[in-house]
Amino acid sequence: PSAKNNLEWISKVRVNTQAVLKRAQQIQGQKILKKQWQAAWLLKAVTCIDLTTLAGDDTPSNVHRLCLKAIQPIRYDLLRKMDMHNKGVSTAAVCVYPSRVADAVKSLKAANSSLPVASVATGFPAGQTPLETRLREVRMAVADGATEIDIVINRTLALTGQWEAMYDEIRQFREACGDAHMKTILAIGELGTFTNVYKASMVAMMAGSDFIKTSTGKEAINATYPVAIVMVRAIRNYFLCSGHKVGFKPAGGIRTAQEALVWLTLIKEELGNDWLCPHLFRLGASSLLADIERQIYHHVTGQYPAYHELPMA
């Protein structure tokens, strides 16, 4: 399915909850890689992070620090010991509120970095502002230099089964994004059922999303493995029907290196190696990098670092 007149089948979709839960458990139960293989996967995870700050007290200076951390996410001497110091290891992007886009763009430019700035938009996190306001927000973030826009879907439309109206809104956001990549946040913690998650995933992809993203990080339930199974199966089916590869971004509450490894395993097993790159996979997280850097420090030195030994940990 690729167009709006194909939306009718959406109402007939059903997801097998037991099968989803079982598959999620299987993936979590898998053996995790050790030693240098683990370190290599952790570095891969770093390159897929959208390093995020989405707080009311964000300022130009903490956004500046975030940008510097995104450019050099792992201490230089640690990368050197792994012979990775000249491989350009950085996070995938920085992610901020629309009002902080200009700060991030300025900091990255001053540091001579071409890292993309992602902005949340469309009345993030609730999406409960007028459509015109939400569209203007997208345009303003793009005008300020954001090249990736993380929109939120209208949960009211999803919960009342108005899939066509939701499709129309997302199409308008797509247009407002212009050349910027669009990641569509489903806020799965507010969608009620796996079936709604699958439907919302499909509608978001049909309306032109480059990525589908689980959560804002502000709902009570954020990125969970069962929901991810539903979303990545939708991505797989959409690819089989349309030939388009849509990316996946789990976000919200992802804090440990161990979790990052499970996410990579899930992507590798469900979507294959093609998806294991920043172009098709992102981890949205504000406090994951600290633990990954800590585990890499342990891999390199055999010891865990004191708090002050890792900047901005």
Ligand X SMILES: O=C[C@H](O)COP(=O)(O)O
251 binds ligand X (CB under 6 A): yes
The residue whose Cβ lies closest to ligand X is 217
- 119 lines the binding site for ligand X (CB under 6 A): no
Per CB under 6 A, does 116 bind ligand X? no
In this complex, which beta carbon is closest to ligand X, that of residue 10 or of residue 278? 278
186 in contact with ligand X (CB under 6 A): no
* Closest approach of ligand X to the CB of residue 292, in Å: 13
C-alpha 72/C-alpha 90 separation (Å) is 6
> Edge to edge, what strands does the sheet with 283-285 contain?
247-249, 211-213, 181-185, 148-152, 117-120, 93-96, 49-52, 283-285
Active site residue 213: yes
Contacts for 282 with CB less than 8 Å, ≥ 6 apart: 48, 49, 50, 92, 93, 183, 211, 213, 247, 248, 249, 251
- Residue with Cβ nearer ligand X (23 or 100): 100
Q: Where are the alpha helices (DSSP H) in 178-245?
A: 194-206, 225-242
- 184 makes contact with ligand X (CB under 6 A): no
245 as an active site residue: the answer is no
C-alpha to C-alpha distance for 186 and 267, rounded to whole angstroms = 18
Query: Applying CB under 6 A, does 246 fall inside the site for ligand X?
Result: no
Q: Which of 147, 201, 216, 295 contacts ligand X by CB under 6 A?
A: 216
Q: Please tell me which residue in 213, 218, 245, 268 is annotated as part of the active site.
A: 213
Interface residue list for ligand X (CB under 6 A): 52, 54, 95, 216-217, 251-254, 284-287
Query: Hey, which residues are catalytic here?
Result: 213, 249
